[in-house]
Structures are given as C-alpha cells and as structure tokens.
Amino acid sequence: MLGEGAGVHGVLVGVAATLSPLSEAATLAMATGFALAGKRVVVELVDPGGLQRAADALDDLATLASRSDGAYSPVVLVRVPGGTDTRNVGVPVYIAGRESDAAEQIDAALARGGVAVFVDDTHPDAPEGIAPAEPGAPVMLREGAAVTVFASGSDIVAALDGAWSSGADAGVVEVRGPGALGAAIRSTGRVVVVGEIAALPAGLRESFWSLEAPWVSLPRGADADAVSSAIHTVLGA
C-alpha cells in the first residue's frame, strides 16, 4: 500500500502501509515499480484533486501492458475519496456506497488484475443486505416503472429518500462501476442522475433514442427534496 493516507481509514484499517511521498505522481511512479516486481499495489490518494494531478502517471501505468506487448501486467488499484472527478479517467472506475461493498470491490479488483480506480464514498446510512452482484455491476435498490434515479456512493441515501417522498413510481439504481446501464435506462425512458457518475454517459448515449424526456442531472450531495423535485420535473416533461 502506498500513499499519504494508506491504511489509516476506511476498510483497509490495520494494513501495514509503506511510507511514500506527498506527490501523487511520484506515488504512482513507485506503484509502477512495485507492480513491475510482481506486487499487487493499492495507492491511496486522500485529496479529491489528486487523481487529476496524477493523470499523466496514471495513463502511463494503464497503458504499460499494451506498450510492452503483455510483458508487464501491473495490478494497481488507486483508491480515492468521494467527490473525486472520474469522468475522464481512462481506466475502469468502481464506486462503493457502503463499507461491506467497498471491501468486496477492492478484493475483486485486485483479483481481477489490471489498473483501476476505486471511489470510496461510503455513507453510514446506506442500506445493507444488498444482494451480491458482479463488482461494477449496477444494483436495483428500489423498483419503479415511471422514472429511474441513478446514484452512486453516498448519494444513494438521498436518492432513495427522494424517490420515496416523491410519491412517484420511481426506481433507484446504484451505479457501482462500468457495468451496463442501458437496460435500466430503457426500462422507464425517464432518468434522473445524482452526482458525477463516470459510468453513466456511455449508457445514456447507447439508450438516447429510448428516452421519453430530457434527463435531469443533480450535483453530488443533492438532498432528498432536490431528488423529489427532479423526479416530478422529468415526469412532467
């Protein structure tokens, strides 16, 4: 484990950390060295802006396998906090809204190999007991036939509360990674998006002609009232 926040919070508490520099790019360079030596590496970036500052280093790491014709296959998971902008990241992005899911996704990402980003955006009130799903696959948290609310990480709490308080037949889908979202979009044709969800644009493009109304996008941290209002806006369009 590398990074100034390694092993000091979240689901990785108690794991021994290696001291590393404060520079995110330098930390990823160290991760590359460890990966070339056959280690599985978790890099923790505690600043939401750290991923953007290390974008070039991450891109170099992500393309190492193809540039070396498969001679090197680094296994590196970059763990970032909620609020990190991952829309232009060129590697798979996984998101967790509850600690149990976070542990499972970290383990699965390391077992799967390659380079990925993991957004640790857990919320203490996130619903537990969710049926196991393939890491990165979306999870239906609430069934609904009129409109679909997509949220991830800590935003799933407001999404569920807003769907319930709206009184509408609103479904809520938790976006957990790059899993296909087209079926959930087409199921209602009406979409509310809460937060900056990296995996969603591809699904919206894929299902654009299935939309019955323009989608409404809310910022990360939107409350339940904002979600409820957005649901009625989409339904009235």
How many CA within 13 A on the CB side of residue 12? 23
Share of the chain above pLDDT 70, in %: 92
- Taking a C-beta distance cutoff of 8 angstroms, is the pair 146, 169 a contact? yes
More confident site: 28 or 4: 28
Is residue 133 predicted with pLDDT exceeding 90?
A: no
Task: Find the Cα–Cα–Cα–Cα dihedral 34, 104, 93, 122, rounded to 10°.
Answer: -110
pLDDT of 13 > 70? The answer is no
Q: For the domain bounded by 139-236, which CATH number is listed?
A: 3.40.50.920
Q: Does the pLDDT at position 32 exceed 50?
A: yes
Strand segments (E) across the chain: 40-44, 75-81, 93-96, 115-120, 139-142, 147-151, 170-174, 191-194, 216-218
Provide the CATH topology of domain 10-120: Rossmann fold (3.40.50)
C-alpha–C-alpha distance, residues 199 and 181, integer Å: 8
Residue limits of CATH 3.40.50.920 in the chain: 139-236
In the predicted structure, residue 210 carries a pLDDT above the cut 80: yes
Furthest CA-CA distance within the chain: 57
Q: Looking at residue 160, what is its pLDDT? A: 96
Q: Start-end ranges of CATH 3.40.50.970 in the chain? A: 10-120
Q: Residue 224 — very low, low, confident or very high, per pLDDT cuts 50/70/90?
A: very high
pLDDT in tens, 159-205: 999 999 999 999 999 999 888 899 999 999 999 999 888 778 888 88
* pLDDT score recorded for residue 23: 83
